[in-house]
């Protein structure tokens, strides 16, 4: 500032150019990263333009602060039991991740989820690159309930036959998934039969009673040359 001789006017200011500078020892705040010694950029997962602030709301700040970077809206992934999404916990714009089938689902391929480069709003759903990953529900191998035995001629996980002293269609085996992602196998179709009682084979014809499901009955005529009396 200059005050000329004999001047009664206010000081004549010759002001320097002042910039808000971030010191070298400045702790990097969340969402920002250094680029060289003097410039800054938004960190991965953040967007905007970083600006150093030395005064705010008309008040001088003791230390400068960085503003301008905000968390980028991230993509959300399908909430489904069949996908292993450990690689997709944070899907920032432009990122992608590999997805595999998760037990009790099985599948041979690996799918890819992608987050668009520009995410305009939160809760944007990640999209499949190509076809969606196909996973088949399969209940874990284990001992079947009474009345069923693993098929000796078919290799599928749900291939069962009726056990001895059981009759019916053992192919009715299904696998269902619960809200807790636990699979449960359901068996139906095999009915227990009643054991044959001791009887005189010469007197009674038990041909129709060789296989009688529980809850049903069979006719027992006399064996020839015996005849029914009464």
Residue 121, pLDDT score: 67
Predicted confidence (pLDDT) at residue 45 exceeds the cutoff of 80: no
Residue 100, pLDDT score: 92
Mean of all residue pLDDT scores within the chain: 83
Residue 230, pLDDT score: 67
Q: Euclidean distance between the first and final Cα of the chain, in Å?
A: 138
Residue 84, pLDDT score: 92
Write out the DSSP string of 144-204. PPTTEEE-SS--STT-EEEPTTEEEEEEEEEEEE-TTS-EEEEEEEEEEBPPPPP--TTTB
User: Is the separation of the CB atoms in 202 and 224 below 8 Å?
Assistant: no
Q: Could you tell me which residues are beta bridge partners of residue 124?
A: 75
Residue 4, pLDDT score: 64
Average pLDDT (154-163) is 82
Say how far apart CA 41 and CA 43 lie, in whole Å: 6
> Among residues of the chain, what percentage have pLDDT more than 70?
91
160 band by pLDDT with thresholds 50, 70 and 90: confident
Bridge-based pairing of strands 96-101 and 136-137 is unpaired
Whose CA is closest to 26, among 16, 17, 39, 44? 39
């Amino acid at each position: 500032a200059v005050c000329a001789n004999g001047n009664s006017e206010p000081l004549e200011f010759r002001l320097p150019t002042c910039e808000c500078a971030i010191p070298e020892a400045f702790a990097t705040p969340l969402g920002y990263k250094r680029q060289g010694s003097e410039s800054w950029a938004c960190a991965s997962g953040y967007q905007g333009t970083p600006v150093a602030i030395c005064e705010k709301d008309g008040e001088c700040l003791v230390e400068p602060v960085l503003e301008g970077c905000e968390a980028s809206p991230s993509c959300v992934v399908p909430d489904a039991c069949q996908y292993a999404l450990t690689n997709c916990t944070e899907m920032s714009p432009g990122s992608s991740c590999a997805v595999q089938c998760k037990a009790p689902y099985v599948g041979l391929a690996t799918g890819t989820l992608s987050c668009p480069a520009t995410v305009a709003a939160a809760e944007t759903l990640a999209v499949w690159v190509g076809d969606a990953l196909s996973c088949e529900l399969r209940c874990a191998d284990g001992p079947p309930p009474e009345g069923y035995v693993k098929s000796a001629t078919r290799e599928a996980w749900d291939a069962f036959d009726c056990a001895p002293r059981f009759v019916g269609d053992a192919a009715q085996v299904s696998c269902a998934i619960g809200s807790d992602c636990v699979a449960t196998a359901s068996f139906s179709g095999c009915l227990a039969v009643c054991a044959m009682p001791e009887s005189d084979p010469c007197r009674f014809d038990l041909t129709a009673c060789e296989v009688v499901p529980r809850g049903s009955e069979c006719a027992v005529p006399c064996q020839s040359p015996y005849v029914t009396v009464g």
